[in-house]
Amino acid sequence: MPYAAKNQIAQDEFEGAVEITPLQYAEALEGLCNGLEVSIENGFKVAPAPPPEEPSVPVKTIEEIRGDALSQRDQLLNVAAIRIWQSNGLNELADNDQFTTITRRINGGLNGLENRMQLWARAKAVLWAS
């Protein structure tokens, strides 16, 4: 005689299985081949699988994940910039408008100095406007 358990069928007895008829075995075999489930709870039956349960943890969209990653990257970049600024003593140099020295310490040369000076002039105009 054949046997069945949850989503399992066999010609030989196995642990947790109940005896089924040859007709039920054929029905279960066909059902399993077609993506159905075999159940022995409350009697033998072959039925569609229940819909998957909703996740208990909210699922983030790709946009949310990307935003989190960018936010973390920005935080790391800010920390790195602060460490470079502090470890090179750039605050005192900035207080004394020594942007050439600051640029050399950060870039190893004067790359971008002209643009930096223009931005600093604009910032001073806004920050110290009377």
Q: Do residues 17 and 8 touch, judged by C-beta distance below 8 A? A: yes
Query: So what's the pLDDT on residue 92?
Result: 93
24-69 per-position pLDDT tens digit: 988 988 888 888 898 888 888 899 988 888 767 777 888 888 888 8
Domain boundaries, the chain: 3-47, 59-88, 89-130
72-98 per-position pLDDT tens digit: 888 889 899 899 899 989 999 988 989
**CA dihedral over 16, 17, 18, 19, signed as positive or negative:** negative
Which pLDDT band holds residue 124 (cuts at 50, 70, 90)?
Answer: confident
What is the C-alpha separation between 98 and 55, in angstroms, rounded? 57
Beta bridge partners of 37: 47
Query: So what's the pLDDT on residue 90?
Result: 92
Query: So what's the pLDDT on residue 33?
Result: 86
Q: Which residues have C-beta within 8 Å of that of residue 40, sequence separation ≥ 6? A: 4, 5, 6, 17, 18
On whether the pTM is more than 0.85, the answer is no
Which pLDDT band holds residue 130 (cuts at 50, 70, 90)?
Answer: low
**The tokens of 17 are what?**
């299985």
5-17 per-position pLDDT tens digit: 888 888 999 998 9
